[in-house]
Copies of this chain bind each other. A is one copy, B any other.
Amino acid sequence: MEFNIIENGGVCTPLGFAAASCVADIKGKGKGNTDLAVLVSDAICQTAAVFTTNIVTAAPVQYDKALLAKGREFMGIVVNSGNANACTGKQGFIDCEAISAAVENELELPKGSILAASTGVIGNRLPADKIIAHIPALCEEIDDDGGSAFAKAIMTTDTVSKELALLVETDKGSFVIGGTCKGAGMMSPSMATMLAFVTTDADISADRLQKMLNVASEASFNSINVDGDMSTNDTLLAFANGMSDVAIDDSNSALFQEALNYLCKELALMIVRDAEGASKMVTIMVKGAKSDADAKLCAMKLSNSPLVKTMFAGSDPNWGRLMCTAGYSGAQFDPEKVSIWFNDLHYVKDSTLIDPALEDKAYAIMKEPEFTITLDLGAGDGVGTYYTCDLTKEYVAINADYRS
């Protein structure tokens, strides 16, 4: 690796980025967590984005998409937690526009230069007036030490904030990529109530950044699964302000991609580790599939099965549930040719248990907070990986009681 983790790094670690947060009491419960935040750059950013594929999209997703369709240069973003501003009709879009405009006015930025993101409960109007009233004081606080405050303010059911920054050394000098994300439930095959923001002081075109962000998100945020649900608000945004003066071109784009992949994957794994009610992070590798698509489909279905996920919770090497789920996944294979490993323990061969005496070893592996399950379908060279968690009673408690 030609990059290194920067201690306590985050979205404000690259040159020229600053942030702030405040308590806007968006839920109206008088509670004290920060729930409104801004992130801004000193210089214009080339911007790339990946959004939810849900056809029901939140107002801020619609707002950002509309702006990104017109251009790729932005100055930053305003984010709230506690209310998703989804299923709020035309009013939701108007609220979104007004909040972004309030930030732009306060910071004397061009109209349409601040994007928006929201996360929280769907279906309630955003308290826009209350939010706008907080903008002047919030903008006063903007500071290049504000990355952690930003990361905390975007949390909902997350129990820890999620931040990372990498220092990347190149022949032309060094640049930094930073990131933060939130999300702990509703994770699914295609992201899900997940917000992720990447910043960099590298000098990169919006087109190049977009292509690399697509690649990085596929193997990270699009390969994690908490509960199979896909949100109306999923947003991954990357801002590049060029202030390191290190230009990314064909000579060093592979390195940028590698660092971006690493950053996105580590941020995504932080989400799985912090998944609602989860006690374990499980990597599901499928190999020997007819195609990579088949392998990914099978890994996704395994990562999504309540019976498989409760088996993780119970540390029970009940491999029949893996066979059964693979069998209905849609992947094509000979049901008599499957091998299964728990970490390096070869447990099943030709679809039968190798030795009942291995059960205690498999149980011990599954008691660990992180382990890998590998299925070889014996049908070809296709490979695919998903990252998931166990399904616990606490998940149900969190989601049954979320609003009330």
Contacts and interface: CB of A to CB of B under 8 A. Distances in A.
A378 interface: no
A290 interface: no
Interface stretch (A65-73, A126-134, A388-396): A388-396
A368 interface: no
Given A55-B333, A122-B320, A327-B54, A399 B306 contact: yes
A310 interface: yes
A57 interface: yes
Interface stretch (A10-18, A84-92, A108-116, A194-202): A84-92
A382 interface: no
Contact of A328 (B55, B87, B319, B392): B55
A397 interface: yes
A121 B318 contact: yes
A159 interface: no
16 contacts: A55-B335, A56-B327, A122-B323, A123-B320, A123-B352, A188-B328, A190-B328, A229-B305, A229-B321, A229-B324, A306-B399, A311-B399, A314-B399, A314-B402, A316-B400, A393-B396
A325 interface: yes
A56 B323 contact: yes
A336 interface: yes
Contacts of A396: 310, 313, 391-393, 395-396
A306 B227 contact: yes
A401 interface: yes
A170 interface: no
Nearest to A122: B320
Given A232-B323, A316-B404, A328 B54 contact: yes
Contacts of A188: 328
A311 B393 CA distance: 14
B404 A229 contact: no
Interface string A150-167: 000000000000000000
A155 to B, nearest CB: 18
Interface string A221-238: 000000111111000000
Q: How many copies does the complex hold?
A: 2
Nearest to A320: B122
Interface string A43-72: 000000000011111000000000000000
Contacts of A56: 323-324, 326-328, 335, 351
A180 to B, nearest CB: 23
Contact of A320 (B87, B306, B336, B353): B87
Nearest to A324: B232
A402 B324 contact: no
Contacts of A53: 328
Contacts of A401: 314
A334 to B, nearest CB: 9
Contact of A230 (B186, B319, B324, B350): B324
A185 interface: yes
Given A229-B307, A316-B400, A393-B393, 8 more contacts: A56-B326, A89-B336, A89-B350, A89-B351, A122-B320, A311-B399, A316-B402, A396-B396
